[in-house]
Amino acid sequence: MDVDLQACIDGDKRAWDLFVERWSGLIVAAVRRTIRTRVGETAEIDDPVQDVFVRLVKDDYRLLRTYDPQRASLSTWLTLVARSTTIDHLRRKRLDTVPLEVDAIAPPPESREGAPPALPLHLLTSRQRLVLKMLFDEGLTVPEAARTLGVDDQTIRSTKHKAISRLREHLSAP
């Protein structure tokens, strides 16, 4: 492992400052390119760039410790980290959407205050409620929720699908 990189991991502030100075241009370019590819325009990049650096130092430099010079150059590895972090950032910022078929059927019944009725969450298993809470209320991604619960990504997707299907079935029943 590169001596300067090891010094960063060991907590040397001067080494970290040099690391940031050396690699920030590459990270900014990777973030900008990813946003342009995904969104089609150049959006604000400060937050995703900061997310990259936070991810690198989080949990005592855990991600930075995973860098293996035998598998890729540091520039390639940092570009991949910046790209995946930016994609995660964009997913968290994505606006909620409503599928067209739901909108075309009929508007949801509303309560007295004009808000949609509460979902009948009592129909779901505790695990389904937990997964929906993590994904929708807490804004976690599928991989983040899977890591938190110690299960595969597909288990989270399947649980989410079954919960939403159960709610749709109940809400569309006459």
Q: Which residues of the chain fall short of a pLDDT of 50?
A: 1, 3, 102-107, 111-112
Q: What is the pLDDT of residue 104?
A: 44
The residue type of 173 is A
Q: Does domain 103-172 have CATH number 1.10.10.10?
A: yes
Residue with tokens 């991600």: 63
Q: What is the pLDDT of residue 2?
A: 52
Q: What is the pLDDT of residue 174?
A: 63
Q: What is the pLDDT of residue 149?
A: 83
Q: Could you tell me the residue ranges of all domains in the chain?
A: 3-93, 103-172
Q: What is the pLDDT of residue 30?
A: 93
Packing angle of the helix pair 46-65, 13-39 (nearest 10 deg): 120
Looking at domain 3-93, its CATH class is: mainly alpha
Q: What is the pLDDT of residue 102?
A: 45
Packing angle of the helix pair 142-149, 153-172 (nearest 10 deg): 110
Cα distance between residue 32 and residue 89, in whole Å: 13
Q: What is the pLDDT of residue 115?
A: 57
Residue with tokens 């997310």: 51
SS3 content of the chain, % helix, strand, coil (to 5): 70, 0, 30
pTM, entire model: 0.53
